[in-house]
């Protein structure tokens, strides 16, 4: 359960830029990335905040310290992730499957909770708030393969396999692409 003192707030693009360092620190810690990763990701995250349909939620403790972050936007042809996933889907399942999933989707780009604050309902609350009233037909995300708290959350929320054991350019780890229809109210309870 989420602690009573946790607040979930939408962030504007300006607020996101102001708190970018804090959000990237959560990302690096949660993903166990090496030092220096935040500096590499910062320009990309700032560019994401300019995309069509971008929205963001943060989880804050009583002092205003960020405990978690989630953001995403409307996926479109020409975006790096869209093109990578499209290529993988066409190869594994054909053009029709790729078109069905990628025609109208919200890309859940990032969702991270500080490890010491995980398993308290923060991730689920961020996910539900971020996806509430998203007008797209589907939501898609990528996550490293293997058992994790994130996997359990996505399964509990009704995400299904779209593409498994996919390797993004520049990352040696296998990823799963998961998706589900929207609205989220249809998630398994």
How many domains does one find in the chain? Answer: 1
2 occurs within a structural domain: no
Task: Judge whether 145 lies within some domain.
Answer: yes
Tokens 């693009």 found at: 13
Cβ(182)–Cβ(136) under 8 Å?
A: yes
Q: Range of 178's domain?
A: 7-186
CATH number, residue 91: 3.40.630.30
The 10 Å CB-count burial string (b at 16+, else e) for 73-92 is: bbbeeebebbebbbebbeee
Model pLDDT for residues 115-167, shown as the tens digit of each residue: 999 888 999 999 999 999 999 999 999 999 988 889 999 999 999 999 999 99
Q: Which residue has the tokens 């790729």?
A: 98
Does the residue 1 lie in any domain? no
Packing angle between helix 37-48 and helix 20-31, nearest 10 degrees?
120
Which is catalytic among the residues 27, 71, 73, 154?
Answer: 154
Helix, strand, or coil (residue 14): helix
Residue 23 is assigned to a structural domain of this protein: yes
Tell me whether residue 64 is in a domain. yes
Is the predicted pLDDT of residue 4 greater than 60, yes or no?
no
| Residue range 80-97: mean pLDDT, rounded | 96
User: What is the residue whose two structure tokens read 């403790």?
Assistant: 61
Catalytic (active site) residue 154? yes
Report residue 2 CA to chain centroid gap.
Answer: 19
CB count, 10 Å around CB of 138?
A: 19
User: Each residue of 154-171: pLDDT tens digit?
Assistant: 999 999 999 999 999 878
Task: Quote the pLDDT of residue 189.
Answer: 41
């Amino acid at each position: 359960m989420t602690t009573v003192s946790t607040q979930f707030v939408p962030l504007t693009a300006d607020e996101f830029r102001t708190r970018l360092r804090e959000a990237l620190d959560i990302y690096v810690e949660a993903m166990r990335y090496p030092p220096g990763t935040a500096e590499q990701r910062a320009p990309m995250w700032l560019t994401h905040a300019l995309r069509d349909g971008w929205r963001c939620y943060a989880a804050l403790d009583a002092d205003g310290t960020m405990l978690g972050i989630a953001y995403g936007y409307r996926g479109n042809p020409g975006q790096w992730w869209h093109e990578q996933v499209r290529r993988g889907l066409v190869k594994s399942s054909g053009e029709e499957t790729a078109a069905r999933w990628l025609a109208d989707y919200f890309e859940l780009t990032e969702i991270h909770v500080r490890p010491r604050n995980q398993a308290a309902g923060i991730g689920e609350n961020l996910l539900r708030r971020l996806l509430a009233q998203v007008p797209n037909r589907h939501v898609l995300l990528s996550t490293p393969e293997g058992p994790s708290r994130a996997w359990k959350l996505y399964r509990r929320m009704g995400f299904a396999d779209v593409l498994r054991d996919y390797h993004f350019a520049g990352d040696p780890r296998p990823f799963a692409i998961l998706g589900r229809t929207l609205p989220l109210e249809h998630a398994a309870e």
